[in-house]
Structure 1
Amino acid sequence: MSIQLTPEALERVKSFLGEQPEKVGLRFAVRKTGCSGWAYEIDLSNAIGADDEVFEQGGIKVIVPRASLALLDGTEIDFVREGLGSRFAFRNPNVKGECGCGESFTTQ
């Protein structure tokens, strides 16, 4: 099992955590939603729960609920800048299709 951050994502998360030192890491999960079935959730976390798996990279903890692991295993999290905007982007080998609006995805 693995979740990886690109150097750009790692620096962005470090910046966010530097502004909120009470947070323990980056929480990465999925939830059922949208027209395709699953959507990513990404946020700073206040705690690590008993049902969480923790991946560390460059001093950053990526916290993933065990219920989300099968859908997220192997995902690379990137931070991209496009024009005036920026966002986290996900390269997930488990994704087999995405909805037209880009908000949700399907797996096998």
Structure 2
Amino acid sequence: MAEITLTDRAAKRINEIMVAEPAGSSLRISVNGGGCSGFSYAFDIVRSREAQDIAIERNGATVVVDPVSLEYMDGSTIDFVNDLIGQSFKIENPLATASCGCGTSFSL
């Protein structure tokens, strides 16, 4: 079974975002074809899950990932960073052979 880790910082930020969303909402992360390096991450807030979604939970925060995207993200860590260029979710993906400066595009 593929695994994804959610850091405490990411969980905290997800919980802050979800305060303004309907109960039961989750952050969906998916991998799409395209982007500067071949694949890109998409972040969406969803109100429902698909039956085959995998849920990653930490400290009350939930991230859902579809099985196809999970194959491209196996072993990844989802973090939230706040640095000089701004705030964003950052995915450390051990399967990525290259990534773009935008932080949401990668290649395998």
TM band (smaller chain): 0.7 to 0.9
Q: C-alpha displacement at 1:52, in angstroms?
A: 1.2
Q: Which residue of 2 aligns with 1:48?
A: 49
Q: Say which SS state the counterpart of residue 97 (structure 2) adopts.
A: strand
Q: How does 1:91-106 map to 2 (within 5 A)?
A: 91-99=92-100, 102-106=103-107
Q: Which amino acid aligns with 1:18?
A: V
- Report which stretch shifted further, 13-22 or 95-104: 95-104
Q: Which amino acid aligns with 2:23?
A: E
Q: How does 1:1-108 map to 2 (within 5 A)?
A: 1-83=2-84, 85-99=86-100, 102-107=103-108
In the superposition, relative to structure 1, how do residues 95 and 16 fare at CA in structure 2: closer, same or farther (>3 Å)?
same
Give the TM-score, by structure 2 length.
Answer: 0.86
Does structure 1 retain, via aligned residues, the 8 Å contact 2:25–2:46? Answer: yes
Q: Say which SS state the counterpart of residue 50 (structure 2) adopts.
A: coil
Q: Which amino acid aligns with 1:22?
A: A
Q: Would you identify which runs of 4 or more consecutive aligned residues in structure 1 move more than 3 Å?
A: 99-103
Q: Which has the higher strand share?
A: 1
In the superposition, relative to structure 1, how do residues 50 and 90 fare at CA in structure 2: closer, same or farther (>3 Å)?
same
Q: CA–CA distance in 2 between the matches of 1:50 and 1:13?
A: 22
In the superposition, relative to structure 1, how do residues 93 and 20 fare at CA in structure 2: closer, same or farther (>3 Å)?
same
In the superposition, relative to structure 1, how do residues 9 and 103 fare at CA in structure 2: closer, same or farther (>3 Å)?
closer
Does structure 2 retain, via aligned residues, the 8 Å contact 1:53–1:63? Answer: yes
Identity, in percent, stands at: 36
- RMSD of the TM alignment (CA)? 1.8
Give the TM-score, by structure 1 length.
Answer: 0.86
Q: CA–CA distance in 1 between the matches of 2:81 and 2:27?
A: 17
Q: CA–CA distance in 2 between the matches of 1:57 and 1:98?
A: 26
